[in-house]
Amino acid sequence: MLNPLTPVHLHWDGDLPKALEYEDIYFSAADPRGEVQTVFIEANELPFRFRNVRRFAIGETGFGTGLNFFLTLDTWRQHAPSGAFLSYVSAEAHPLAPADIHRALRAQDIPETDIAVLLAQYPPPVSGLHRIHFPEDRVVLTLVYGDAAPEFARVRGKVDAWFLDGFAPSRNPALWNIAVFRQMARLSRAGTTLGTFTAAGQVRRDLAEAGFAVKRIPGFRGKRERLVGRFQTAPYPDTAPMDRIAVIGAGIAGLATAVALRERGATVTILDPRGVATRTSGNPAALLSPHLSAGDSLRNALALAGMRATRALLNALQVDGNDGVLRAEGIEHRGITRHAARRLARLSAVDPRLAGNLYQVVNKDPRKPILRYPQGIGVDLGAFCRHLAHGLDVRHRQVFTVDTGERGASLGYADGGQDLFDAVVIATGAGPALYPGQPRPLHVGGQLTRIRTPLRSVGRMALTGRGYCLPEYEGQHWLGATYRHDNADSGVHDPDNVENLRQLHWVDPALEAAEEVAVSGAWYGTRAVFRDRLPAVGEAAPDPAVHAPDGARPTGTPRVFIHIGLGSRGVLYAPLAGQLLADRIFGLPEVLPEPLSELLSPARFRHKEA
């Protein structure tokens, strides 16, 4: 995971890019837009199909300049109904540099505003899945960086149409072989279509062996032939439609999940007797900070995905520094404790590209290493949650029981009422278990301390190392946080304020005498955490008897999901996990590759017990 990729070497003939590694052009010199329209968009009947969908997924075997995507986006805008959702997944082994992407797309009259959305979220050139959001269009683009066959093997979900693009089969055989086509088949539904510019005999035979019925039709602009096709068989029927979904819990986990579900066209009801962010998600000073390790590439990849997901959600909400959500831009991590110093020293000694350039090395001194996270932020989590809740259906009701049957999931309320939903997401944090098999997190108390004392050493960035400190906001700083293993919501303790001040003595000389610092306020919350500090995200108590290896499920299988245990780095994981659940509920290509989603799976606790 997160292996640096070799950038493509380009030769420009005017505004026509050519890859020197393959000695081939990215698109037709005569009529690039017409070729995409004919070979991919019309071949897959997208204008007609878009008019009749709620959710649709496209897979592509070569992203290149992104021209196919942007012309498909234009077709989607013209034909898709309001509220429909498009997921576009595209593999690329040698991504273009941002400047080259911009030059190529501008030459094809792609709107500058669209190019800007892509480039603002353009991922670092490291292997794995990287999602880019076009929120106004309800479109997500997932770039699958790396060799197509092994990377597609890690993707979960289903695709409705394929664009087989890439350099000519004779020049790029790694993209046109049975291994790639078998992964396409695994990701296809019965009736999934494909279009491609090639009609090579071996490509036809390999596609047929993988389960696609293909035929030759006239090529584009004088090219003799090209292929269209349709996937004939699928071992498992599609999942029954999930339209009405309940989310139990109005904290960051439940709200992030509800937003992702709503984006995909679901009717979402959020249930919480106390309302939005009234418990631990009301944290006024939370950090979006990756926890990186030089020796744990999986967790580093998860951190990169989480950072990107949270930043994308904040951008979609149009959050800025004037609305009370953002409290710091950038985080500086100092090796104050012995453990942190060792970890940061190891990170400072390796190439930051191995962690997706999430950090910059400020000081390599192993005694006092300092790293900077440019994309890290400090947020008022309660304010963030209230932004997320805008326009959502939040009901102040307490769910007492969750039961499942052939018709769906039934919720029993504390006041005696009952409701039936197609699916349920339990996002109750430290609340009681509502469903059999729901793992139980530890409960850990945490207290923040607020002071009016000026801290001249603190600029615009948050500081962390032993405890953390946010920049001044309205004349005050938030400091935190204690970690109290008392398994109870015990509230604010004055001694915890003193502890916060003492552990942050390194921040500024004004904190060196903790007892002399006046405390202006405090906040306490009970965190729900698992021992591995990762949340539990996925289906609750799945039955292996009804699961296929690729995640398909028979029609009518009840669906209850959980999204809990975000007491450690909840701002990092909640938006990402919300997307993961929404993708999975609707059978769409998922935001995380399978090795990373398995890190979060509730099944990991049963495996340990076995």
Q: What is the DSSP string of 34-58?
A: HHHIIIIIITTTHHHHHTT-SEEEE
Residues 6+ apart with CB under 8 A from 96: 7, 8, 10, 17, 64, 65, 104
Question: Are residues 574 and 309 in contact, defined by beta-carbon separation less than 8 angstroms?
Answer: no
pLDDT average, residue stretch 107-114: 97
Q: Count Cβ atoms within 10 A of the Cβ of residue 537 and give its class: 0-12 exposed, 13-18 middle, 19 or more buried.
A: buried
pLDDT at 237: 57
Model confidence over 213-226: pLDDT tens digits?
999 999 998 788 99
**Would the pLDDT of 323 be above 80?**
no
Q: Is the pLDDT of residue 542 over 70?
A: no
Whether 582 contacts 257, CB under 8 Å: yes
Class of domain 10-231: alpha beta
For residues 134 and 423, give the distance between their C-alpha atoms in angstroms, rounded to a whole number.
26
Q: How much is the pLDDT for 174?
A: 86
Reading the block at residue 474, the tokens are 């309205």
- Class of domain 244-279+390-437+534-609 (CATH, top level): alpha beta
Percent of the chain topping pLDDT 70: 94
Contacts 24+ apart (CB under 8 A), 455-458: 455/507, 455/508, 455/510, 455/511, 456/508, 456/510, 457/507, 457/508, 457/509, 458/507, 458/508
Mean pLDDT calculated for residue range 501-526: 94
Give the pLDDT of residue 15: 87
User: What would the DSSP string read from start to end of 215-253?
Assistant: EEEE-STT--EEEEEEE---SSPPPPP--EEEEE--SHH
Higher-confidence residue: 38 or 240? 38
> What are the Cα distances from residue 46, in Å, to 38, 52, 58, 151, 189?
11, 10, 10, 26, 16
Confidence of residue 2 (pLDDT cuts 50, 70, 90): confident
- The pLDDT tens digits of the residues spanning 86-107 come to 999 999 999 999 999 999 999 9
* Residues with Cβ within 8 Å of residue 152, at least 6 apart in sequence: 91, 144, 180, 183, 184, 187
pLDDT at 551 over 80: no
Residue that has been written with the tokens 């899945």 in this structure: 129
Domains of the chain by residue range? 10-231, 244-279+390-437+534-609, 302-384+442-529
Angle at which helix 112-120 crosses helix 98-107, to 10 degrees, equals 160
Structure-token match 């094809």, residue found = 108
The helix (run of H) or strand (run of E) holding residue 468 is strand 468-469
* pLDDT tens track for 401-445: 999 888 889 999 999 999 999 999 999 988 889 998 899 999 999
Whole-number pLDDT of residue 543: 46
From 19-23, 303-307, 421-425, 482-486, the region with the lowest mean pLDDT: 482-486
Calculate what percentage of the chain has a pLDDT beyond 90: 81
Look up residue 69 and give its two tokens: 């995507």
> Angle 236-239-245 (CA atoms, 0-180°, nearest 5)?
165
Dihedral angle, C-alpha 265, 269, 275, 277, nearest 10 °: -40
Q: What whole-number distance in Å separates Cα of residue 108 and Cα of residue 65?
A: 10
Q: Which CATH architecture has domain 302-384+442-529?
A: 2-Layer Sandwich (3.30)
Tell me the two tokens of residue 481. 């946080």
Mean pLDDT over residues 240-245, rounded? 83
Phi, psi of 138 (to 5 degrees): 55, 50
- How many CB atoms are located within 10 Å of the residue 346 CB? 15
pLDDT value, residue 553: 43
pLDDT class of 609 with cuts at 50, 70, 90: low
pLDDT, position 322: 67
Q: 587 near 140, Cβ under 8 Å? A: no
State residue 239's pLDDT score: 58
Return d(Cα 559, Cα 539) in angstroms, integer.
7
Residue 494 has pLDDT above 50, yes or no: yes
Nearest in space to 537 (alpha carbons), one of 221, 305, 217 = 305
Residue 300 burial class via C-beta count within 10 angstroms: exposed 0-12, middle 13-18, buried 19 and up: buried
pLDDT on residue 545:
42
Can you list the positions of beta strands (E) in 93-211? Answer: 128-134, 139-145, 159-164, 188-196
Write down the pLDDT at residue 35: 94
Is the pLDDT at 236 greater than 70, yes or no?
A: no
Place of tokens 């004088």: 222
Tokens 């955490």: give the residue. 529
Yes or no: say if 126 and 2 are a contact pair by the CB < 8 Å rule: yes
Rounded to the nearest 5 degrees, what angle is found at the Cα of 53, between the Cα atoms of 50 and 54?
A: 125
Burial class (CB in 10 A: 0-12, 13-18, 19+), 105: buried
- Rounded to whole angstroms, the Cα distance separating 574 from 563 reads 8
Is residue 324's pLDDT more than 50?
A: yes
Mean pLDDT across the chain: 92
**Higher-scoring residue by pLDDT: 485, 93:** 93
